[in-house]
Structure 1
């Protein structure tokens, strides 16, 4: 989408029908990671995203990702990376991300994948970067425009929430919903894209 008319058209769309807080699990223990893996491995595809605490000083290097989101059609699991790392409990998350058989669909995954490798030593496989797969010409596609184009809905993304502290031990309800629905929206867009006959890989 581009131009004022298209922006107005997007604003008139119904709100994205995403997940509720009750449909989100924050994973911060070994037991929770094992339980989440059992659910996620049974899916044919997942929505995938990460969040990192923002940097505000020029030249400062991000210590993220601090949160990894993996969503099914009806639930999202938010992995608190720093807390799981301290417990030596990243094995279940690594198994999911490294599986080439399990599709992980997201937007703009380049930085996410690099940071997961440098911070956690996780080499992701089976990823589908929808920003590139849906691009037209030189322009990569963002999740908001993809949700509007393929789902006919408006995904609201608060910049205020996006720049909060994702490394916090306790996440706010707004953080939980923001993170979960970013991943959930990616999965829904992926399914709509596949339904149009797009190649899976």
Structure 2
């Protein structure tokens, strides 16, 4: 991990208190024009936001993904979930993701760029993949959100595999899906802040 050293295995297996995450009261599903405008104003007023996407999983060999089916964007106090529905405008989502002045941070964003470009014609700009930047030169692969949360906060990020591989293209997402998706974006922003603070603390006085 750049600027800090840690053992991924020990952090993943440690008995830690749960990461509290963001609650339902601070999450909005963007399903109409009013919510889209509110999301646009809130997100563009920020300097940096958390970013993630979810896609309905594929199970058959050779089956092509039709995702992303949900895009999650988070400020400090609120997370906005954009269901991708055919025929619905993505103008506000495009304005946020293509803004060169707004930094978007997240984990494992490698496939998101191409999927958003090919399906929605959105060219994501100014993105930082925390999984890449935190791994450091001595590690292979990328650092995940669970390990980063354990390292920076001493807490355990609960991530259900069942929810993560659920149907994200469903017309109505359930409460567990909403919380899972929102926290993926929101926790990335919190890790980014913690990482920046650790870098500043390491600078000579």
Aligned residue for 1:117, secondary structure, equals helix
Aligned to 1:49: 52
- 1:22 and 2:25 matched: yes
Aligned counterparts of 2:111 and 2:157: Cα–Cα separation in 1 = 22
Unaligned 5+ segments in structure 2 are 1-6, 201-205
Inter-CA distance 7–69: structure 2 relative to 1 (3 Å threshold): closer
Offset at residue 74 of structure 1 (A): 1.4
Offset at residue 6 of structure 1 (A): 4.2
Aligned counterparts of 2:53 and 2:199: Cα–Cα separation in 1 = 28
Aligned counterparts of 1:23 and 1:80: Cα–Cα separation in 2 = 17
Aligned counterparts of 2:24 and 2:166: Cα–Cα separation in 1 = 18
Q: Alignment partner for residue 161 of structure 1, among 160, 163, 178?
A: 163
Q: Deviations over 1:30-63 (max 9, x none)?
A: 2211111011111111110000000111100000
Aligned counterparts of 2:176 and 2:154: Cα–Cα separation in 1 = 23
Aligned residue for 2:151, secondary structure, equals helix
Inter-CA distance 132–153: structure 2 relative to 1 (3 Å threshold): same
Alignment of 1:113-152 (within 5 A): 113-136=113-136, 137=138, 138-152=140-154
Inter-CA distance 7–91: structure 2 relative to 1 (3 Å threshold): closer
Aligned counterparts of 2:156 and 2:20: Cα–Cα separation in 1 = 9
Q: TM-score, normalised by structure 1?
A: 0.91
Offset at residue 139 of structure 1 (A): 2.7
Aligned to 1:112: 112
Provide the alpha-carbon RMSD of the alignment: 1.3
